[in-house]
Amino acid sequence: MNGPLLELTGVSRSYRRQERRPGTLKGALLDGWRKRAAPTDGNDVSHGDDRIHALRGIDLSVLPGEIVGLCGHNGAGKSTLLKLIAGILPPTAGTVRVAGRVAPLLELGAGFLPELTGRENAALNAALLGLDDEQIAERLETILEFAGLGRFVDSPVRTYSSGMYMRLGFAVASHVDAEILLLDEVLSVGDLEFQRQCADWLDRTRDSGVTVLMASHHLPTLRDYCDRVVWLEQGAVVDQGNAGQVLDRYEGRRAIEAVTS
């Protein structure tokens, strides 16, 4: 395929703020007065648009085989962007075009059923991610070995620690054939040994030509793996381009903020 595997055009995502229900008539009257008296300054909430804007007019194309990083502070919109690409959330405006099978490694283990064992949950989630019965039978032991659950593999996942839960989620999602991988801080999962396994897996993935979009606060990871980095702030693209150059500018901005805060 010559064109982009991922293409976002004018993508925005907003949420309506959860309004507090006043407990008294006086409270209701005060809330109404505050809304009428509030100034309109053109920011997130203006002209009666009581919304939180998580993403604002994102344009992004990712070519086959590219590894693109997302950097930015907490709340910048990185995770929301990945969820839109994964189809977990719809955009409020704009279009998201995905030409390929996506494996989202986002909220790892989010679909696990507490009463099922690790083995049962691995098989179930592999099916949900698109593997057929034959593929599951071929890969299940490899997935479980990668997760490193030991004797707990046949225990209900409600007995697992958060680290075990996340390791099993990563092991399943990383063994699904996909053209596009979406990674959200997944290389920080588990202990140091498991993080090394994850890094080795990503090395193999990169060499195989799979397209990767990864969000991380760990800038050395983005420098090591990414061809290009997109810097997000308050839901908008501040900068994008060569990974090293964008990250240098981002770190420079952070250093200035640290001094002036």
Any domain includes 94 = no
For tokens 């990169």, the residue is 206
Q: What is the pLDDT of residues 53-109, one digit of tens each?
A: 999 999 999 999 999 999 999 999 999 999 999 898 999 999 999 998 888 877 666
What confidence tens digit (pLDDT) does each residue in 130-172 have? 889 999 999 999 999 989 899 999 999 999 987 788 888 888 8
8 within some domain: no
Predicted confidence at residue 43, as pLDDT, reads 37
- Quick check: is 78 in a domain? yes
Question: What is the pLDDT, as a whole number, of residue 48?
Answer: 43
* 223: CATH: 3.40.50.300
Read off the pLDDT of residues 118-132 as tens digits, 9 standing for 90 and up: 999 999 988 888 889
Find the distance separating the first CA and the last CA of the chain, reported in whole Å.
Answer: 47
Closest CA to 243 of 258, 219, 214, 223: 223
Based on the structure, what is the number of domains in the chain?
1
In a domain, 2, yes or no: no
Q: What is the pLDDT of residue 155?
A: 96
- Nearest partner of 187 among 69, 45, 31, 81, judged by Cα: 69
Q: 34 near 194, Cβ under 8 Å?
A: no
Give percent above pLDDT 90 in the chain.
Answer: 49
Strands 211-215 and 180-184: parallel
Predicted local confidence at residue 188, as pLDDT: 67
The pLDDT assigned to 39 comes to: 43
Average pLDDT, the chain: 84
Q: Above 80 in pLDDT, residue 110? A: no
Q: Confirm if 64 and 210 have CB atoms less than 8 A apart.
A: no
- 83 in a domain, yes or no? yes
Residue 8 has what pLDDT? Answer: 97
140 domain-assigned: yes
User: Tokens for 119?
Assistant: 């083995």
CA dihedral 129, 134, 138, 144 (to 10 degrees): 40
Provide the domain limits for residue 201.
65-89+101-260
Residue 96 lies in a domain: no
In this prediction, residue 12 has a pLDDT band, given cuts at 50, 70 and 90, of: very high
Q: How big is the chain, counted in residues?
A: 261
pLDDT at 76: 95
Q: What is the structure's pLDDT at 135? A: 95
Question: What's CA 91's distance to the chain center, in Å?
Answer: 15
- More confident of the two residues 223 and 200: 223
pLDDT tens digit string along 179-188? 898 988 876 6
The verdict on residue 55 lying in a domain is: no
